[in-house]
Structure 1
Amino acid sequence: MTPKTIIEEPIPGNSLSSRRMHARISQKSEPMIRQAPVFEKASTTRTNTNKNKNTKNTKIHHNAITISTYNVRTLKQTGKLHQLVYGCSKNNIDLVAIQEHRWQTTEQINTCYTILNDQTWRFEYSSATSDGHGGIGLLINPRMSAFFNSSEKVSNRIMMVHFNGNPATTIIIAYAPTEDKSDIEKDTFYNNLQQCTLDVPPHNVLILAGDLNARIGTDSHTTNPRTIGKYTYHQLTDDNGNRLINYCETCNMRSTQTRFPHPKSRSWTWLHPNGKSKAQIDHILINGKWLNSIRNVRAYNTVELNSDHRIVSAKLSISLRAPKQNKNKRIKFDWNKLKTNSVLQAQFNIEVQNRYEILQNINTDHDIQTKYDNFITSIQDTTVKLIGKTTRKKRKNWASTTTIDLLEKRNSAKSKFKQQPSRENKKHWHILNKQLDESYNNDKINFLEDKLEQLKQAMVSNHLRT
């Protein structure tokens, strides 16, 4: 009689009978053995189901940048650009569209650099008018400088800056005429703005940032809900506002500030000289295709330059791409060592001769091209061995730590005056502001004197390139 074999296995299911272990009796002569299923050990860590539900449809953006617009009123005063860079660095701002810097130059587009914490900030700008008014530009932090492509001037009130990316990104910096200007001047501005906007490929990310001197009201949302959001600061739209809306409808641009519900205190961008009236006239717009990349837009008091405008910042998520580095980059050697050291000169000559003779013995073909290649190779190898590469000198920050401390105190004093208006707080703020200007002037003088001394030493040693 064939013995009976009992094999136990779990039967899948949720019923009580399926969870029990059943005996199966095999009637065959040979027992049929089944492999027991392998179960993973249950995790002892409890998971938050609500958190998983929220993160399931949440897209994490790793390429978020902050772009701002700021009418600085002037950057001609010593230390103003450094104060701007310091505020942007402290608040993690990547790009700032600047209006009214009032710098006058003869070039169409100019580039200047400023150093903060051993990092170089780039400022692309066009000149102000002949009478010293206006002037626009874009301040670029070190991270975004790697993606910079080109910049171009459209008019005295409009310039464009292009960045490499996937897709490419174009930023238009604009400074519109005020409400009391003539219709001819306004028409010229918006015709130029519309033309340069339509020239940008439609699939690119296009951002318009600047002081547009346009008040947009609730009535514009009623008539143009696709272009203007419902969270407007004003009730009625003025003439510049209507012109801006017509431009948006023609060029498929969208208002960003009116998309987010913020209190009035975080929406106004300009304070009237009377100290009471406020308006929202600085705007950031984006083309309709990339409207959903905007995460938040609002006005801030964080960057302080004693301007009657506030900085407006927008956080957006775009993909940028840096250009490929040139693999055959030219190597710079410190040839000054060879000019002044006679011992090194003799050693260099002997080393070149020895290497050249070795290469000539290896290569049996002694045509003129082979001799030339051997000679160049001998010089290059000897240069790497005896002279070495030049060490890049770091640019020094001309503003001292004392000045930066005064800048912090001045900003704190002004914030305190805004929160608690009084004569004492205002006087303390003005005193610190005066001390800060004097400190910047002294630092600039010391910096220029050091540069002059370095130039004199270079002339004496005949090292003018240093």
Structure 2
Amino acid sequence: MYESGKTAQVAAEMRSNNLTLLAISEIRWTQAGQRRLLTGELLLYSGHEESDAPHTQGVGFRLSKQAQRALIGWEAHGSRIITASFRTKMKRIKMNVVQCYAPTNDSEEEDKDYFYNRLQKILEILPDKDIILMGDFNTKIGPDNTGYKQVMGTHTLGEMSENGERFVDLCALNNLVIEGSIFPHKRIHKSTWVSPAGTTENQIDHVCISKKFRRSLQDIRVRRRADAASDHHLVVARLKLKLKKNWIDTSDRRVKYNVSLLKDHKTKEDFGPRLKNKFSVLQDRSEEEEDSVLNRWQKVRHTLRSVC
């Protein structure tokens, strides 16, 4: 996504594959935020918190207009995890989607421990446990599901790696089913990654869903024709769980202020000093605290609204 023209290329593939929600790994943008694209989609992203950090890792969601209407909220969790919640047409059911980019099998043990511990804490605090967990987990789980029959099937590639053991244990602890192992597809519709030389293929991208909703997932397979200049193939899941337009949050509704009141000399004299004092306090706090651009903008907006 950091390369020139990649955003438009991904948008074209999203529309051609008729995707409601697209989860992305290695977005390579720094900090966190959201961006409205010219094509109408909304991009939510989470990267390294420092603005001068290297353009590596990063995760994000790309939302169609339908998904935008159902969006309840989202949260950034650093350069490897992002979450979003959506309203569905099933009464009282929210869909909590978690997108991840896990450390590789060769990474330091400390990095892997930190990632899985943090992911576990995030899964524990998600409401209702209506979870879809997906992303590039850099892990092979293999077809041997001995001891894990409640978590995975046998329709997978390769042999279970160390990362695979961590991943499967996480799913077992949180009552998640690895759906890519359930559906019996051909090999070309299972392998999600191909080596630069094109000689090796692995199944390292996975989609998991809470056990009580496993029947909602009708199919999951790889679409190899999607072109985004990546060494990963597009993994598509088809769910019966439909999104619903979310209620209007009146707290975020644009407020119209009666600016004609400023024509009154007394009102104008009262408004000016109040606004100046508020922003002076905000500036002093900003110099003491290290905030992201998004957080600073939220504070500026809140300050202006409160004075108005």
TM category (shorter chain) comes to: 0.7 to 0.9
> What does residue range 388-403 of structure 1 map to in structure 2 within 5 Å?
none
Match status 1:94 vs 2:20? yes
Residue aligning to 2:82: 159
The code of the aligned residue for 1:263 comes to K
Question: d(CA) in 2 for partners of 1:264 and 1:88?
Answer: 23
Residue aligning to 2:154: 230
Unaligned runs of 5+ in 2: 260-308
Give the TM-score of the pair, scaled to structure 2. 0.76
Correspondent of 2:203 among 271, 274, 280: 280
Correspondent of 2:114 among 184, 188, 209: 188
The alignment partner of 2:244 has SS state of coil
The CA deviation at 1:325 is 4.4
Provide closer, same or farther for how the CA distance between residues 80 and 227 of structure 1 changes in structure 2, counting only shifts above 3 A: same
Aligned length: 250
Task: Deviation per CA, 1:53-107: give whole Å up to 9, x if none.
Answer: xxxxxxxxxxxxxxxxxxxxxx1222211110111111101111111111124xx
The alignment partner of 1:173 has SS state of strand
Residue aligning to 1:205: 130
Give the TM-score of the pair, scaled to structure 1. 0.51
Match status 1:114 vs 2:37? yes
Residue aligning to 1:126: 46
Does the 8 A contact of 2:47 with 2:78 survive in 1? no
Does the 8 A contact of 1:179 with 1:213 survive in 2? yes
Provide closer, same or farther for how the CA distance between residues 317 and 114 of structure 1 changes in structure 2, counting only shifts above 3 A: same
Does the 8 A contact of 1:91 with 1:302 survive in 2? no
Give RMSD over aligned pairs.
2.1
Question: d(CA) in 2 for partners of 1:330 and 1:126?
Answer: 26
The CA deviation at 1:227 is 0.5
Correspondent of 2:8 among 82, 93, 99: 82
The CA deviation at 1:320 is 2.9
Match status 1:261 vs 2:181? no
Provide closer, same or farther for how the CA distance between residues 238 and 326 of structure 1 changes in structure 2, counting only shifts above 3 A: closer
Question: d(CA) in 2 for partners of 1:330 and 1:186?
Answer: 43
Match status 1:270 vs 2:193? yes
Task: Deviation per CA, 1:109-153: give whole Å up to 9, x if none.
Answer: 30111123xxx1000001247121111100001111101111112
Does the 8 A contact of 2:28 with 2:47 survive in 1? yes
Provide closer, same or farther for how the CA distance between residues 326 and 162 of structure 1 changes in structure 2, counting only shifts above 3 A: closer
The CA deviation at 1:209 is 1.2
Provide closer, same or farther for how the CA distance between residues 224 and 331 of structure 1 changes in structure 2, counting only shifts above 3 A: closer
Residue aligning to 1:395: none
Question: d(CA) in 1 for partners of 2:34 and 2:150?
Answer: 38
Task: Deviation per CA, 1:274-333: give whole Å up to 9, x if none.
Answer: 211100001111111111100000111232111111010100111433233489x8798x
Does the 8 A contact of 1:84 with 1:303 survive in 2? no
Does the 8 A contact of 1:128 with 1:136 survive in 2? no
Residue aligning to 1:370: none
Residue aligning to 1:140: 63
Residue aligning to 2:306: none
Question: d(CA) in 2 for partners of 1:104 and 1:324?
Answer: 31
Does the 8 A contact of 2:141 with 2:156 survive in 1? yes
Question: d(CA) in 1 for partners of 2:191 and 2:48?
Answer: 26
Question: d(CA) in 2 for partners of 1:323 and 1:312?
Answer: 27
Provide closer, same or farther for how the CA distance between residues 103 and 326 of structure 1 changes in structure 2, counting only shifts above 3 A: closer
The code of the aligned residue for 1:174 comes to C
Unaligned runs of 5+ in 1: 1-74, 336-466
The alignment partner of 2:146 has SS state of helix
Q: Determine which structure has more spread, i.e. the larger CA radius of gyration.
A: 1
Provide closer, same or farther for how the CA distance between residues 331 and 251 of structure 1 changes in structure 2, counting only shifts above 3 A: closer
Provide closer, same or farther for how the CA distance between residues 121 and 181 of structure 1 changes in structure 2, counting only shifts above 3 A: same
